[in-house]
Amino acid sequence: MPLDHSAPQAINPALSTKVDQLNAQLRHHSATDVLRAALQAVPDLAMVSSFGAESVALLHLVAMIDRDVPVLFIDTEMLFAETLVYQQEVAERLGLRNLRIIRNPETSQRDPKGILHLTDQDACCALRKTAPLQTALASHSGWITGRKRFQSGQRATLDFFEVEAGEDRIKVNPLAYWQPGDVAEYIAENRLPRHPLVARGYPSIGCAPCTSPVAAGEDPRAGRWRNSEKDECGIHFVNGKMVRTGALS
């Protein structure tokens, strides 16, 4: 089913106020400050990580604060082999003690030949990514994402905290204001392992069938669902509607 990008659903007023206050208080603070505040303000906070091109920076920040934070990794069963190996390497290197690998048990039944992405990319993402993530997040009142404003598209107006419409859940974007150079510098300074596909021209890495290398000068996410209007997998939508809440004017 195609995603509906129409107006977002009603937002819990109490959460909206809380998000606005957190954004105002932390507007000029560091990612580490945002994470510490989030872990204090949001019970049962989890982190969602793709273990992609830039994921290791945020994973390292979280691990330095609390290695017991649940880290949810969605195995769509269409990931690059390099991503699966990298996930194991990074988890061991950072000492992540609460890594949870999430899969949708209905995938083999609903897409037995593994070709749904050829006819309906949105449905494939919903089956393999959105549905299992929503199930995994049901017991959490907030989650940490690695989204950044410089990734453009629908991310250009991100703030540190957002309310997830219809879910009474807060999303935390500690790296919202980081620039491409900040990520690379952090990874280099902390001698963190890079995803092996980065050196092969993949600055943004998703499922293998829907990710291609990016040429010099292209948007970093140009290789995701190339030659289509799609630019998000759907995990930042609720019931098919994009969430654009929590921003403080």
Catalytic residues: 233
Distance in angstroms (rounded) separating the CA atoms of residues 154 and 78: 24
Nearest to 112 by CA among 65, 77, 74: 77
193-173-133 Cα angle (round to 5): 80
Nearest to 210 by CA among 222, 201, 199: 222
For residue 18, give the DSSP letter: H
Using CA atoms, how far residue 208 sits from 49, 109, 125, 212, 226, in Å, is: 17, 21, 13, 8, 12
Task: Name the one residue in this structure whose structure tokens are 């890594």.
Answer: 99
Strands 241-242 and 237-238, bridge-based pairing: antiparallel
Max CA distance (Å), the chain: 50
Helices of type H across the chain: 13-26, 31-41, 55-65, 81-94, 107-110, 116-119, 121-125, 131-137, 180-189
- Tell me the angle at which helices 55-65 and 31-41 cross, rounded to the nearest 10 degrees: 60
